[in-house]
């Protein structure tokens, strides 16, 4: 129904407006009791789908990627579409508007999106208020820095977000790979990245001892545009800093092989969806093989079919996430992936 009835109508309107409209609609439907209906349609529950990674029990390995529910407003309702985990954020210490609109573009001929949102979010404290509600699903907290914060002060921004979210999320994601915050991706270089992750690890230990709880898993989200040498550095950094894993990947700055109109291709920002699929899978395979499967990987980028998800898992991913595929294929995609996993288990 989504692909043939709802999507053609939604795609007539501005993508960002549609996003907020969908949020309102899902919230309303939840209020009038649709949660059970959505769950009965989309949720696949089976022991064979369960995964235990970095000390967390996931009901299934299909998650919603960061940037969809940036302000943690809809995580419970979104979990009704069958997701095993929802990643909120990217959050920054202070609220910020992000880049001027228009900043989100559909490349329909490529089943892709270009976005230059620029970490628009209501700030970490507003998200904390939202997260005080009961959680029906595993929540990842994706953290970043404010645009006005220079890179040499970035550690403080990440630490503020980490401290604020510590009691409210199940795992953390350190986002240094968005192409839409000027200079952010320089934090992926070996020295600043090691410093940042060491600081967050130390903060993790400190908070866990103080609160007498377990430490939270910390994952790093990387860009698909890193070179092999940079990826080898990432493997060393994971080993040195002892973070729990990697999310590969964020959006790409490449525009290779697109069919869409040249003017659309030239929009600045990160490209996601089908054209990103092979590169993100390649990054997953490289990290998995070169590290000898030393750490868990969450695979994300261009998953539009169950086969795309299986390909990522076969390349070395332990869990997968969706974003653009969820827009193009609708919630049925989550169910299709879980069903395909059951068929081959």
Ligand X SMILES: Cc1cc2nc3c(=O)[nH]c(=O)nc-3n(C[C@H](O)[C@H](O)[C@H](O)COP(=O)(O)O)c2cc1C
Question: Rule CB under 6 A: which of 209-238 touch ligand X?
Answer: 221
299, 302, 316, 330: residue in contact with ligand X (rule CB under 6 A): 302
Count residues near ligand X (CB under 6 A).
Answer: 28
The verdict on 273 binding ligand X (CB under 6 A) reads yes
HEC-encoded secondary structure of the chain: CHHHHHHHHHCCCCHHHHHHHHHHHHHHHHHCCHHHHHHHHHCCCCHHHCEEECCEEECCCEEEEEEEECCCCCHHHHHCCCCCEEEEEEECCCCECCCCCCCEEEEHHHCEEEECCCCCECCHHHHHHHHCCCCCCEEEEEECCCCCCCHHHHHHHHHHHHHHHCCCCCEEEEECCCCCCCCHHHHHCHHHHHHHHHHHHHHHHHHHHHHCCCCCCEEEEECCCCCHHHHHHHHHHHHHHCCCEEEECCCECCCCCCCCCHHHHCCCCEEEEHHHHHHHHHHHHHHHHHCCCCCCEEEECCCCCHHHHHHHHHHCCCEEEECHHHHHHCCHHHHHHHHHHHHCC
The smaller minimum CB distance to ligand X, of residues 65 and 317, is found at: 65
Residue 178: active-site member: yes
Give me the least distance between CB of 19 and ligand X, in Å please.
8
Given 178, 249, 260, 272, which residue is catalytic? 178
Q: Is 188 in the site for ligand X (CB under 6 A)?
A: no
Using CB under 6 A as the binding rule, whether residue 175 contacts ligand X is answered as: yes
- Considering only 26, 49, 53, 65, the residue that binds ligand X (CB under 6 A) is 65
Measured from the CB atom, the residue of 104 and 297 that comes closer to ligand X is 104
Q: Which is nearer to ligand X, 235 or 320 (CB)?
A: 320
- Hey, which residues between 310 and 329 contact ligand X (CB under 6 A)? 322-325
| Residue 33 C-beta: closest distance to ligand X, Å | 30
Work out whether 245 is an interface residue with ligand X (CB under 6 A).
Answer: no
Q: Which of residues 76-105 bind ligand X (CB under 6 A)?
A: 89-90, 104
Catalytic residues: 178
The residues of the shown chain that bind ligand X, judged by CB under 6 A, are 65-67, 70, 89-90, 104, 113, 115, 117, 119, 142, 175, 178, 221, 250-251, 272-273, 276, 300-303, 322-325
């Amino acid at each position: 129904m989504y692909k043939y009835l709802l999507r053609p109508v939604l795609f007539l309107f501005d993508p960002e407006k549609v996003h907020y409209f969908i949020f309102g609609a899902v919230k309303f439907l939840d209020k009038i009791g649709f949660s059970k209906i959505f769950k009965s349609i989309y949720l696949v529950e089976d022991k064979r789908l369960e995964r235990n990674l970095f000390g967390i029990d996931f009901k299934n390995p299909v998650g919603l990627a960061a940037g969809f529910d940036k302000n943690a407003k809809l995580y419970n309702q979104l979990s009704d579409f069958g997701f095993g985990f929802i990643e909120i954020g990217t959050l920054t210490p202070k609220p910020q508007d992000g880049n001027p609109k228009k900043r989100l573009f559909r490349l329909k001929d490529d089943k892709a999106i270009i976005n230059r949102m620029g970490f628009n979010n209501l700030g970490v404290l507003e998200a904390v208020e939202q997260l005080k509600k009961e959680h029906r699903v595993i929540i990842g907290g994706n953290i970043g820095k404010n645009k006005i914060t220079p890179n040499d002060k970035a550690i403080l921004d990440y630490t503020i977000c980490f401290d604020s979210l510590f009691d409210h999320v199940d795992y953390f994601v350190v986002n240094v790979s968005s192409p839409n915050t000027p200079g952010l991706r320089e934090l992926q270089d070996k020295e600043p990245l090691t410093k940042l992750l060491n600081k967050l690890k130390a903060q993790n230990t400190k908070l866990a001892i103080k609160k007498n709880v377990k430490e939270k898993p910390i994952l790093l989200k990387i860009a698909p545009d890193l070179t092999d040498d940079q990826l080898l550095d990432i493997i060393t950094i994971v080993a040195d800093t002892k973070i729990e894993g990697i999310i590969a990947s964020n959006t790409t700055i490449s525009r290779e092989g697109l069919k869409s109109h040249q003017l659309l291709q030239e929009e600045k920002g990160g490209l996601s969806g089908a054209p990103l699929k092979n590169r993100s899978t390649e990054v997953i395979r490289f990290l998995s093989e070169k590290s000898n499967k030393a750490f868990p990987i969450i695979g994300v980028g261009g998953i539009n079919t169950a086969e795309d998800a299986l390909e990522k898992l076969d390349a070395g991913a332990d869990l997968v996430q969706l974003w653009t595929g969820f827009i193009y294929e609708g919630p049925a995609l989550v169910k299709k992936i879980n069903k395909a996993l059951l068929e081959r288990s």
